[in-house]
Chains A and B, each alone.
Chain A
């Protein structure tokens, strides 16, 4: 259609008259239907809200409240008595508290670092050096300890570590008699029986070994996923740039999996600082073993709450532990977060 100066753009010749004669009616929904429309989404997310409120939000708030009360749960709710900061003062005054925090930190470091030092090269070799079927078989095998009950694993290690009848000691004795090994394992015979779980210097390393054994496979899975995301082109480019195998790993593969490493390390920190089952079973639930060498913070908190029935103090300790984990994680985020979460990729 040609537009002349007298025919303003966009106005049809019939438009204005027909539109303005009758008042416009608003079509909409009845009030009841509007309500249904508003409520439906809430209904769908309500299972989460209910479960979250009952099992997460309420215990969180309640434990905060509890940490200022003295309460023996056996005597019922009415026995609660407000004591102010006493529980915190008591906990921070207790040498077992400090010992358990020290043990927790020690175990977190000694059982945490090797998991990653082993998992990274193993995952790299699985991804770059073997066929994918072989890789999947090994990854699955390494993962089995992670999905096995910690109590079952700990019980098995309990028997392995046993002083008189444990396989570990029997092997050590046997190996120490071999020609080459005898020169540096000569002391073994004299030291027997080595009490892995009943001497204060050996409890922590023994626990750490079980933790490493259990969680390395999990980290291998994470790191494998990470190495799989590194495109083959990058390795080709690195080869053309003159990298040998080690330089490809160090300069290309390792920096590329930083986000995965950051994630895995975060999980290790949080998980290790809450370590409970391994030390609990390996010390037979006996207050952390000889000299409380195996007493971790979670373990201590359990003792206070359920052995000594001091729920208020236990709640206070749990908040101290929370603060401890939060600080360590924050330090980790501060130093590694920028590169770990960075959007380079």
Chain B
């Protein structure tokens, strides 16, 4: 197991800079997820950590050793690829044992270790099959087996679940989590799926355009997003953003919506300038009586039942808000309703230019 540190890491492809001075420390045994929209550089970053790509500047440190110059093999890391990258001409057992065979481990021992890894992942019955004879989930497992068999210092996962269907994806997610709890190997997990990141990781790193936006535990990111990008990226359905103007009267700060509704907000936000964006999480908005505290008037545009809750699209001050309604209230289209939200659940961000 190893502690992985990235120090001022940058990467350019020709004139295009894809990673900008990244600093990140992954503690020994920690599970860190790198999340971001496609093209944010997260896979490139993982490939640099793996040693498949060279950093343009900066250092990769594993257990206090700078490993920039080392090959993937010398770094002793294992990687699970999005495409699984199983060797089609080898059986499951040969796939799992390949890296041991290449490192010169004796045949009998390769066999024992490969079988043990297969046992852990429930692949024992499939050892003689070729990858083409396996289902997506089974291939995924073989790819994991290939990673755990060598007892690496760190696991790198590159969107390992994105080729699976939704049900299998959540099953495999649980399995990865269980595996990590069992082997406690330092893991870095790249995904574009925030749910995957939130459910699996001890800490989540949000990347956008090659720049780290925020690093934190899932609940920190959810409760205290550093900027509107993080706020919009974390949480499902996504956070609503509403234009507003900050007004101060006495020692109270209010956010005024375009329709004149005034919501009291924390004084801490006062310096963000008059033009701001309010961030309102759909699950924090509730249907309310017109005279309730912080009531915001709106009209119903759409009602999407999901069974347990209804997703409402409510037009407020010319903007559409998503509301998660767990009371399952039966609403007509175009009905006038009021929404309320607790003051401490209102996030405020500077207005994007």
Query: Which residues of A pack against B, CB within 8 Å?
Result: 231, 233-234, 236-243, 247, 251-252, 255-256, 258, 343-345
Contact = CB atoms under 8 A, between A and B. Distances in A.
Contacts of B99: 240-242
Contact of B102 (A234, A241, A344, A345): A241
A170 to B, nearest CB: 49
A338 to B, nearest CB: 12
Contacts, number: 63
Contacts of B81: 233, 236-237
Nearest to A247: B102
The 9 A-B pairs of least Cβ separation, nearest first, read A242-B73, A241-B99, A237-B85, A233-B85, A255-B89, A240-B72, A344-B88, A240-B79, A242-B102
Nearest to A345: B88
B71 interface: yes
A339 to B, nearest CB: 8
Given A236-B52, A237-B146, 20 more contacts: A231-B85, A233-B83, A236-B79, A238-B87, A239-B71, A240-B50, A240-B51, A240-B73, A241-B73, A241-B98, A242-B73, A243-B102, A251-B87, A251-B98, A255-B89, A258-B89, A343-B132, A344-B89, A344-B130, A345-B132
B103 interface: yes
Contacts of A252: 87
A237 B87 CA distance: 9
A328 to B, nearest CB: 26
B73 A239 contact: yes
Q: Which among A241, A242, A251, A255 has the highest number of chain B CB atoms within 10 Å?
A: A241
B323 interface: no
A252 B99 CA distance: 12
Contacts of A343: 132
Contacts of A240: 50-52, 72-73, 77-79, 99
Nearest to A236: B52
Contacts of A231: 83, 85
A231 B87 CA distance: 10
A252 B98 CA distance: 11
11 contacts: A231-B83, A233-B81, A236-B81, A236-B85, A239-B52, A239-B72, A240-B79, A251-B98, A251-B102, A344-B131, A345-B88
A234 B78 contact: no
Interface residues of B, number: 25
Contacts of A236: 47, 52, 79, 81, 85
Contacts of A258: 89
Nearest to B102: A242
A110 to B, nearest CB: 30
Nearest to A344: B88
B48 to A, nearest CB: 13
Contacts of B98: 241, 251
B251 to A, nearest CB: 60
A233 B52 CA distance: 11
Interface string B84-107: 011111000000001100110000
A243 B98 CA distance: 10
Nearest to B98: A241
Interface in B237-268: none
Contact of A256 (B52, B88, B146): B88
Contacts of B77: 240
A233 B50 CA distance: 13
Contact of B87 (A234, A239, A242, A247): A234
Contacts of A344: 88-89, 130-132
Q: Which of A240, A247, A255 lies at the interface centre, i.e. has the most chain B CB atoms within 10 A of its CB?
A: A240
A246 to B, nearest CB: 11
Contacts of B102: 241-243, 247, 251
Nearest to A243: B102
Contact of B103 (A234, A237, A242): A242
A234 B89 CA distance: 11
Interface string B280-294: 000000000000000
A168 to B, nearest CB: 43
Interface string B143-160: 000100000000000000
Nearest to B83: A233
A344 B50 CA distance: 28
B185 to A, nearest CB: 15
A239 B53 CA distance: 11
B73 to A, nearest CB: 4
A175 to B, nearest CB: 43
A321 to B, nearest CB: 36
A290 to B, nearest CB: 48
Contacts of A247: 102
Contacts of A345: 88, 132
- Listed residue (B50, B81, B88) with the most chain A CB atoms within 10 angstroms of its CB: B88
A256 B52 CA distance: 21
Nearest to A252: B87
B29 to A, nearest CB: 21
B69 to A, nearest CB: 15
Contact of B89 (A238, A239, A242, A256): A256
A257 B249 CA distance: 76
Contacts of B83: 231, 233
Nearest to A258: B89
A130 B152 CA distance: 33
A251 B97 CA distance: 13
Nearest to B156: A240
Contacts of B79: 236-237, 240
Nearest to B82: A233
Interface in B124-181: 130-132, 146
Nearest to B89: A255
B49 to A, nearest CB: 11
A239 B51 CA distance: 9
A239 B98 CA distance: 11
Interface in B46-84: 47, 50-52, 71-73, 77-79, 81, 83
Nearest to B143: A237
